[in-house]
Structure 1
Amino acid sequence: MTNVFSRRSLLGAGGAVVGGAALGSLGMSQASGATPQASTTGLWQSERVRYDAKYRLVYTADAEGNRIPDFSYAGYKYGDSPIPHVRTVKTVKPIEGDNTAHLQAAIDEVAGRTPDHAGFRGALLLAPGNYSVAGTLRVNQSGVVLRGSGDGADPERHTIIQATGNTPVSRDVIVLGGGTSTSWRGQVPGTRTDITSDWVQVGSRSFEVADASALKKGDNIILIHPCTEAWLTAVDHGGTATDAGWTVDSQPITYNRYIHSIRGNTVTVDVPLFEHLRRDLAQSYLYVWDRAGLVTGVGVESLRIDIQFAGDPDVDEAHAWVGVKVRQVEDAWVRDSTFLHFAKAGVETTEATRVTVRNCRALDPASVVTGGLRYNFNCESFSQQVLFVDCHATKARHAFISNGASSASGIVFLRGTSEGALASSEGHRRWSQGLLWDNHRDVAPQVDLTLGIYNRGDYGTGHGWATSHSVGWNCDTGTAKLVVQKPPTAQNYAIGCRGVVTGDGPFSQPAGYIEGANRPGLFPPSLYQAQYLDRHR
């Protein structure tokens, strides 16, 4: 098995290995045949997901059928393959003046190469130096990597892209992926079919369809649960407080999946669903997607983007807004990079599946401190199976956030750190599903609520229920609040978290599932890593 986490990477606070067969070293006797117990070690397990006597994770549903989903499919190639080191095929150095055309020509040259057996055309290496860039760099062909020489501040040793000017207004410095928005609408003719299962439970991968004859294993499908009046009634029209409620067709729940297998009219997909599909509330359906414009196997690595601005960093936003926009991609990555002085985001995804953002820093935004800005690591619409690992944010309004509404799901923020938060990391609006903050940590926050898995009522434009079936696991908000609330028809969870863990949010709603608040020793210490290892046993 080639994977991104070994069993020995799943460590407890004291350094004890807590994966699979190593449970025995924690006093969880395999010979006894009993459910593993951690009382002698000071560790404890959640009632909602825990190891059984065979050292497999088991999930307990509540009376409504809500259960914690499996988040382990997030990231480049489901996390099952390490991010590749793509061979350097061209190296460039900075030139005087604007480097936009210079760098774009080099990117395009690499993009014109014939892909190798793995589908990679090669990496463009930017030698150390300062690269003034007044436009947008586009890595828009599959199999191309833009690689710097390091993300430090020394141009003698590192690659520094100095984004200058504001043309076009509020631009992206690098776009990794395609150039158009399709919202995954393109249907292969004759492939649409209804899902006929009366109820597909959150976390499920299999369901019945009316007619599977036009489908085959390996098809890339789009699955849609329409936003009907019946569903809106069930979720209190979004719980938008004084704002107008959500309207029919405004929030369809959408999933991008592959068919894993077909037996008769039973279809099994590659990744679990992060919401219940209830036929009494909406007739869900699927179709084979034409994948128009999709870019695959692309990455940005080891560089520093320093967006130039003038004046007060809490006022000036007349400059580039996003460091790297990851758009219209599958199996992409951004790693080992630093982004400074953006107005909106260091890294932002949209129409993106199976993306890993690893060991990146989004620091010191420059903008007015207001809505729509300072979303340091941000998932917009149609972001799914996105994994952020070991990323650090400073001075964020929303450091680790899903802003993608009902088309965003399966997003994991693993070991993220937010320093000096000006608002909360959160599901931000309109029913994002399946978000996981795993070992998230806040340092010296400037506000008293720093992690929100909750209802946002009339914030924004009727944000309402911002997320469902989402989890805070072993997080630490210090003296600040982690607010978790229960949406109608769904659940949210805060398990083993430290700080002020409460259901008391800015809008009065039932508390979500809170377990083990401020109790040390949660086992396993990382839900994502435990689920990943369990899936590969």
Structure 2
Amino acid sequence: MTHDLSRRRLLGLGAGLAGSAIFTASPAYSSGSAGLAESAGLAGTSSIAGRWQSSLVQYDSAYRLRYSEDAEGNRIPDFSHAGYRNGNRPIPRVRTVQTIGPVEGDNTAHLQAAIDAVGQRPVDRDGFRGAVRLEPGNYPVAGTLRLNQSGVVLRGSGDGADPAKDTIIRATGNLPASRDVIVLGGSASTGWRGQVPGTLTDITSEWVRVGSRSFEVADASGLRPGDNIILVHPCTDAWLASVDYGGTATDAPWVVGSQPITYNRFVRSIRANTVTVDVPLFEHLRRERSQSYLYKWDRAGLVTGVGLESLRVDIEFTGDPDQDEAHASVAVKIRQAEDVWVRDSTFLHFAKAGVETFETTRATIRNCRALDPVSLVTGSRRYNFNCEAYSQQVLFADCYASKARHAFISNGNSSASGIVFLRGTAEGSLASSEGHRRWSQGLLWDNHREIAPRVDLTLGIYNRGDYGTGHGWSTSHSIGWNCDTAGTKLVVQKPPTAQNYAIGCHGIVTGDGPFAQPAGWIEGANRPGLWPTSLYQAQYVDRRLA
């Protein structure tokens, strides 16, 4: 491809890419075609003084990204599939079909009735039933609001503090204790275990490298393009031995069966017994260490196409903000859901999280604020933007956290992967954003920024040893890219069989963490001019140009 053709194709994609919001959410990125080229890194480097590229991912002469592998086969993964519809479509503006205002007293039943009424409407050709719009005002809510039917959106009038023009959900009381205020998705976790009969087959490739999308299976006859499949790498003694049984320091080591690596994917093509999936894998699958397998998932209970927009959730409390926990714990939980979004909203005074995902794929949380948590300053609290188990292809873009223990975090162990924190800002951090425990994979902090942190370690891509309950190696194949920790530590360490990276980051970038382990890949620390400035955006454009 010539340079001119590459540019023409980029310009032709301009409108669609601008709609994706990754280029328009921040004033620093233009929505026009020139801004796309600039922010993606396609404007070239040789003529721009002071800019440099990582040795691990660079543009070639055709302005396509090229990656380097190390001797262990480690390479930087492609994170560009994170978000609603894998970033292939913009978040929709779903038509309002019902508008309501607040009533006196508890509004839980009032709001739920409107949500349920829209949930009974037929879906349109795009799969949506419609949006409930909440007029400005205060809406006291003593229970939990549930968007549990596909294609339903709850939309406020603004996320500010003025009830004359904004929509304010006031979470009152503590019944049940430590409840979720709003739940998007299904009622319970399935762990993606429902197998369609006749589809279970072993992966027979001896080594599926990190970043791969294709592999051999024993029998592909039960699979079809478009199938939603689950890949499982069992947690065997051979795999555990290869990762030092988790590296848990003085705690008990991880045990067989405790940390299966799990991926939720769609089949893109099948040729003989070679299967190609939609999203790359974020870990090596070595057959000598574990016999991996896959099956078609029955998608039981899954809720799709739900959204929350333009409102404020303010959780009421009465005591000391560093002690009181007699109130709702999570402002918004996304659970058992796919292709879901939360945008342009603010969440205050939660104990655990402003937004938390669990068994969630292809979600976008954009332009949201999780502020001023109220709780003890201790474990399992103040995870402002939090991904729990079975969270995959989740994008947090232009979000802001304050007074967090872990502002942008994966707490989801070996079933969590492909999570992007894009242009996140943490103010007054009380502990680090991080991979938190037990081998989450493929986390990207891209242009993360700290403001006035209150601790000396604010970004951890590392081993957590005996922290928690044997957290050990918290993450693998994860990256800090062009981050600024405001003079505090970014700790990056190399796990056995894998790698972690800190590229173009500013602060104290080091492999010296709480637990002694080899340093990860550190490149260009405190060197300005990293190009592309955003790895996620560059990978997104590169994929769309392919």
Fold shared, TM-score > 0.5 on shorter chain? yes
Matches within 5 A, 1:464-479: 464-479=472-487
Q: Distance in 1 between matches of 2:25 and 2:112?
A: 41
Q: Distance in 1 between matches of 2:422 and 2:95?
A: 28
Tell whether 2:188 aligns with 1:180: yes
Tell whether 2:368 aligns with 1:360: yes
- The question of whether the paired residues in 2 share the 8 Å contact of 1:351 and 1:381 is answered with yes
- The question of whether the paired residues in 1 share the 8 Å contact of 2:186 and 2:303 is answered with yes
Change (3 A) 1:77 1:23: closer
Q: Which of residues 179, 192, 197 is equivalent to 1:189? A: 197
Tell whether 2:456 aligns with 1:438: no
- The question of whether the paired residues in 1 share the 8 Å contact of 2:39 and 2:532 is answered with no
Q: Distance in 1 between matches of 2:126 and 2:449?
A: 37
Matches within 5 A, 1:322-333: 322-333=330-341
- The one-letter code sitting in structure 2 at the alignment partner of 1:356 is T
Q: Which of residues 277, 287, 290 is equivalent to 1:282? A: 290
Change (3 A) 1:335 1:268: same
Tell whether 2:244 aligns with 1:226: no
Shift of 1:19: 3.1
> Which residue is equivalent to 1:266?
274
Tell whether 2:84 aligns with 1:76: yes
Shift of 1:7: 10
> Which residue is equivalent to 1:19?
37
- The question of whether the paired residues in 2 share the 8 Å contact of 1:20 and 1:534 is answered with no
Q: Distance in 2 between matches of 1:515 and 1:256?
A: 32
Shift of 1:61: 0.6
Q: Distance in 1 between matches of 2:85 and 2:472?
A: 33
Change (3 A) 1:8 1:454: closer
- The question of whether the paired residues in 2 share the 8 Å contact of 1:148 and 1:159 is answered with yes
Matches within 5 A, 1:367-406: 367-406=375-414
Calculate the TM-score normalised by the size of structure 2.
0.94
Q: Which of residues 161, 167, 174 is equivalent to 1:159? A: 167
Q: Distance in 2 between matches of 1:523 and 1:489?
A: 28
Aligned length: 527
> Which residue is equivalent to 2:148?
140
- The question of whether the paired residues in 1 share the 8 Å contact of 2:20 and 2:89 is answered with no
Q: Secondary structure at the residue paired with 2:305?
A: strand
Q: Distance in 1 between matches of 2:21 and 2:312?
A: 30
> Which residue is equivalent to 2:135?
127
Spell out, residue by residue over 1:235-272, the C-alpha distance to the aligned partner (whole angstroms, 9 max, x if none). Answer: 00000000000000000000000000000000000000
Spell out, residue by residue over 1:311-360, the C-alpha distance to the aligned partner (whole angstroms, 9 max, x if none). Answer: 10000011000010000000000000000000000000000000000000
- The question of whether the paired residues in 1 share the 8 Å contact of 2:21 and 2:90 is answered with no
- The one-letter code sitting in structure 2 at the alignment partner of 1:378 is N
- The one-letter code sitting in structure 2 at the alignment partner of 1:52 is D
> Which residue is equivalent to 1:513?
521
Spell out, residue by residue over 1:354-379, the C-alpha distance to the aligned partner (whole angstroms, 9 max, x if none). Answer: 00000000000000000000000000
- The question of whether the paired residues in 2 share the 8 Å contact of 1:12 and 1:18 is answered with no
- The question of whether the paired residues in 2 share the 8 Å contact of 1:19 and 1:530 is answered with no
> Which residue is equivalent to 1:59?
67
Q: Which of residues 425, 435, 447 is equivalent to 2:455? A: 447
Q: Which of residues 115, 131, 135 is equivalent to 1:107? A: 115
Spell out, residue by residue over 1:87-117, the C-alpha distance to the aligned partner (whole angstroms, 9 max, x if none). Answer: 0000111111100011111110010111111
Shift of 1:180: 1.1
Spell out, residue by residue over 1:443-465, the C-alpha distance to the aligned partner (whole angstroms, 9 max, x if none). Answer: 00000000000000000000000
Q: Distance in 2 between matches of 1:320 and 1:483?
A: 33
Spell out, residue by residue over 1:206-235, the C-alpha distance to the aligned partner (whole angstroms, 9 max, x if none). Answer: 000000000010000000000000000000
Change (3 A) 1:195 1:115: same
Tell whether 2:495 aligns with 1:487: yes
> Which residue is equivalent to 2:357?
349
Q: Distance in 1 between matches of 2:257 and 2:197?
A: 23
Change (3 A) 1:128 1:523: same
Q: Secondary structure at the residue paired with 2:222?
A: coil
Q: Distance in 1 between matches of 2:158 and 2:91?
A: 17
Q: Secondary structure at the residue paired with 1:43?
A: coil
Q: Distance in 1 between matches of 2:106 and 2:290?
A: 53
> Which residue is equivalent to 1:247?
255
Q: Distance in 1 between matches of 2:153 and 2:25?
A: 30
> Which residue is equivalent to 2:541?
533
Change (3 A) 1:222 1:24: closer
- The one-letter code sitting in structure 2 at the alignment partner of 1:498 is H
- The question of whether the paired residues in 2 share the 8 Å contact of 1:17 and 1:23 is answered with no
Q: Distance in 2 between matches of 1:384 and 1:177?
A: 15
Q: Secondary structure at the residue paired with 1:533?
A: helix
Spell out, residue by residue over 1:57-106, the C-alpha distance to the aligned partner (whole angstroms, 9 max, x if none). Answer: 00101110000000000000011111100000001111111000111111
Tell whether 2:117 aligns with 1:117: no
Q: Which of residues 91, 100, 103 is equivalent to 2:99? A: 91
Q: Distance in 2 between matches of 1:241 and 1:479?
A: 28
Change (3 A) 1:24 1:114: closer
- The question of whether the paired residues in 2 share the 8 Å contact of 1:301 and 1:334 is answered with yes
Q: Secondary structure at the residue paired with 1:254?
A: strand
User: What is the percentage of aligned positions where both structures have the same residue?
Assistant: 75
Calculate the TM-score normalised by the size of structure 1.
0.96
Q: Distance in 1 between matches of 2:237 and 2:476?
A: 19
Q: Secondary structure at the residue paired with 1:328?
A: strand
- The question of whether the paired residues in 1 share the 8 Å contact of 2:315 and 2:327 is answered with yes
Q: Distance in 2 between matches of 1:12 and 1:362?
A: 20
Q: Secondary structure at the residue paired with 1:536?
A: helix
Gaps of 5+ in 2: 1-12
Q: RMSD between aligned alpha carbons?
A: 1.8
11-20 or 276-285, which moves further after superposition?
11-20
Q: Distance in 2 between matches of 1:429 and 1:497?
A: 23
- The one-letter code sitting in structure 2 at the alignment partner of 1:298 is V
Q: Distance in 1 between matches of 2:229 and 2:283?
A: 17
Change (3 A) 1:24 1:375: closer
